[in-house]
Structure 1
Amino acid sequence: MASLAQTPDSSDQQVFAPRGALTIGRAGSVSRELDAFPDPLTIDLSRVERMDTVGAYLVHRAVRDRGARVTGGSQDFNDLLEQVAEADHPARTVPEKEGGAVAELGAWTIESGRTLKGLVAFFGATLIGFAGLIRRPRRFRLNAVIQRFDVVGVRALGIIGLMSFLIGVVIGQQGAVQLQQFGAEVYTVNLIGRITVRELGPLMTAIMVAGRSGSAFAAQIGTMKITEEVDAMRTIGVSPIEALVIPRLIAAIAMMPLLCFWAMLASIVGGGLFCWAGLDIPPLTYVRLIADVVPATDLWVGLIKAPVFGFIIALAGCFQGMLVANDAEQVGLKTTAAVVQSIFLVIVLDAIFAIFFSSIGWI
């Protein structure tokens, strides 16, 4: 163990004479000893056997800040002290520019453009993967698709059915409260039927699938990226698009219309129970009114939108999962981004669909 010796000089100066190793392992104790020495100070290195850059910096700091004098050092020690002194200069820092709301809006716009560009490129890669499967159908993984049917569709029936049932009840209750002011509470059936079949059924189902399955897609693929399973697939000649992305896309596209129809039925049942209990409309009358007031075009509008929403949700989830880098924190960030991106795109598409169907007369 290296020890320190403090000896008085013949003059008024105090002599700090470390002995043994002046290295990082002794940095704490040496620093405290130096701070305790009064000025003027002389550092005698004649008894030092080893010195690294940390020890040299402690000596240099005493010279720089306190005007200490260094004696007894070998040529190697002196060269090291000179190198430390040359490297000791303040780092130039560039202050962060604060551009305000305009700069933040610009940065968000640029980032959104890059994300959209990446999503379009990923969509192109997916189309190429589909074309490859058409040319070589033996590479199609039917078992993976069936497993995704279970995850995306069957296991989501409970939560989507419950959510849709409660939404039907809420729409009926709120609509009845407003319509009763005009003595038109019978039109609550019209409100429940049209809004759940045409809009809320597909939209709320898409939001639930985005939060449940879209996030799962991003987390699963992101974890596989971290564990280098995706790289291993490429190494053995298996396309990650064909093995991971396409089965999830097919499952989401196929299951969304079924889940959407299930959500429509659950909402209508929930609204019917409220009408029966709150408005004294018998179930048979309610069913007949629903059949009269809900046109077939509303059903087709909902079922046409559903697979498109499923495709967007699966595409965004897989895209964000593929963006995960070698960092566990990225899994959470990309999973959140997948859900936000999916819901945003679904709402935008829903608005586009509304304008389109209105323009062709499906009102």
Structure 2
Amino acid sequence: MMRRPLLLGMVGGGEGAFIGAVHRMAAAIDGDWRLVAGAFSTDAGRNVRTGEVLALDPARVYPTFDAMLAGERALPADARIDAVSVVTPNHLHAPMAIAALEAGFHVFCEKPMAMSVAEAQAIAAAAEASGRHFGLAFTYSGYALVEEARARVARGDFGAIRLVQVEYLQGWLSDPIDNAGNKQAEWRTDPARAGLGGCLGDIGTHAFHLAEHVSGLRTEAVSADLAIHVPGRRLDDDVSALLRFDGGARGTLKATQVAAGEENGLRLRIYGERGGLEWAQMEPNTLTLRWLDRPAEMVRAGGPGLSEGAAGLLRTPAGHPEGYVEAFANLYRGFAAAIRDEGGSWFPGVADGVRTMKFVEAVIANAATDRKWTSIDPGESV
């Protein structure tokens, strides 16, 4: 019997939006998903045009998110959407995710999970009560060689981990384009729509999630500095943090959007007693391994020596680069497998989202005081 694709609805991601198109491409790659419905924009014309470009049934291009939930729930079970992709600005993540979960739909959401820890925990409660799955778009965790790095750390190749260094350098906000009509910049620097953190929430959460995911360690406390370099900007555009991990490891995190000339410089280094690794998002098909007692090694996507988990995330032979969209697709594939109860595929979810929101709040709290360390989990001693 042929397995039908899961049916997807999308809120946000209309004409001119970057991330909505990425979600649609990623969801389509493996044939697990078919986009059939959407409420893409509060601008009626843009909403309709997006539906036309995507060749959707006009009856399922809804004027509002609430109308989409009501309209889809009214359809027969085998015709309605299975899940909702939330690709809106941050302030809408929690109310929309909770409403979709309560309406009986699975949710795949853009990061950060919410505007606060309290909102993130409300989403977690709604997911548990509904019995539906919640996925989160921490895209970089979907790269094959990130999985290879995680697997090698987990099996103890490098011994006990001592150092974790992660940086995410961008330069696109070096000029005040948020005050010059750039829509992508304008909402990301607006506290009402972006939340407590600017650069911190937008890319600092990616860096933090990657560091914990690959190292397998939990951050106990942070010592942080937030800066606004562009005059008049209301949210941070530069983040520096020291990280203290369980087990005694130490780390550094640097995230900035004012490193003029940088594109998307996400880089992770992890060092243990016997060696370490380095992975960079702009060269994602190479993982460098360094050793205390022998020459460095270079592991390549599709090449020999990959773990089963990493090899299973690749779609093309060695030498045929895979990148951002394919990594994103791996998350959608894992999300689909969970919905179908097939197991075997990981994707970022509720726990990852709550952890990253705790990180955001801890950094902001620490940077606002002269206290040296702030616990990620309030109430714990540091």
TM range (shorter): under 0.3
Structure showing the higher helix proportion among its residues: 1
Q: Which structure has the bigger radius of gyration?
A: 1
Normalising by structure 1, we get a TM-score of 0.22
User: TM (normalized to structure 2)?
Assistant: 0.21
